[in-house]
C-alpha cells in the first residue's frame, strides 16, 4: 500500500526552527527515517512539503486513486484551513493528523484543528518520533481493513 506523508508551511525549516519546540531533526532526516521504516513494513511512502495551502489541497486531491492513507502535518494551516479539511473529506482517504509539538499544551489558537474533525486520529507531542508512530498506526489501520 501507498501512504502520502504531507507536510505544511515552515516544516522545511525543521532543525533550525525553534529547536526548543520542534527539536533539531531536519525534515530530510525525518524523510529518511520514514522511507527506511516503510521498507521494513513493506509499504511505500511519498514524502512532500509545501508552504502553500493550495498545493497541499492539490496534493490531497492527487492522492485519490494513488495512495491509501495520508499522514498530514498541516502546520499552522491545521488551525485555519477549512479548505484542507474539505479536501480530506472530499477524497475520503483515511488521514492521520500529526504534530511534533503538543499543540494542546501551547497557545489557545493552536487548540482548534479543522483537520482533526475529519481525521482518523491525531498524534501530537512526540517530536520527530511522531512520524514513525503515525506510519505504524496507518499501516495497522489499513491492514485491519485489508487494503
Ligand atoms: C505544528 C504545530 C502547529 O501549531 C505549528 O503552526 C506548526 C507545527 C507541529 O508539528 O507541532 O507549524 O504542526
Mutate to test the pocket of ligand 1, among 100, 113, 119, 124 (most ligand atoms within 8 A of CB): 100
- Torsion angle (degrees, nearest 10) of CA 68, 69, 74, 80: 80
Domain ranges of the chain: 2-144
**Among 132, 119, 18, which residue's Cα sits nearest to residue 74?**
119
Look up the pTM and report it.
0.96
CB of 80 within 6 A of ligand 1: the answer is no
pLDDT in tens, the chain (147 residues): 999 999 999 999 999 999 999 999 999 999 999 999 999 999 999 999 999 999 999 999 999 999 999 999 999 999 999 999 999 999 999 999 999 999 999 999 999 999 999 999 999 999 999 999 999 999 999 997 644
CB of 30 within 6 A of ligand 1: the answer is no
Residue listed under C-alpha cell 492527487: 62
CB of 67 within 6 A of ligand 1: the answer is no
Domain at 2-144: CATH architecture? 3-Layer(aba) Sandwich (3.40)
Check: complex ipTM more than 0.90: yes
Considering only CA atoms, which residue is closest to atom 7 of ligand 1?
75
Amino acid at each position: 500500500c501507498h501512504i502520502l506523508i504531507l507536510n505544511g508551511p515552515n516544516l522545511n525549516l525543521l532543525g533550525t526552527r525553534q529547536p526548543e519546540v520542534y527539536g533539531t531533526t531536519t525534515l530530510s532526516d525525518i524523510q529518511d527515517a520514514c522511507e527506511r521504516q516503510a521498507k521494513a513494513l513493506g509499504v511505500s511512502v511519498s514524502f512532500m512539503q509545501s508552504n502553500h495551502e493550495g498545493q497541499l489541497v492539490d496534493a490531497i486531491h492527487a492522492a485519490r486513486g494513488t495512495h491509501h492513507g495520508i499522514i498530514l502535518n498541516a502546520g499552522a494551516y491545521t488551525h485555519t484551513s477549512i479548505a484542507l479539511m474539505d479536501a480530506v473529506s472530499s477524497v475520503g482517504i483515511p488521514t492521520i493528523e500529526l504534530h511534533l509539538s503538543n499543540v494542546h499544551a501551547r497557545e489557545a489558537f493552536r487548540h482548534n484543528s479543522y483537520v482533526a474533525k475529519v481525521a482518523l486520529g491525531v498524534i501530537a507531542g512526540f517530536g520527530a518520533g511522531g512520524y514513525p508512530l503515525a506510519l505504524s498506526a496507518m499501516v495497522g489501520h489499513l491492514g485491519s481493513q485489508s487494503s
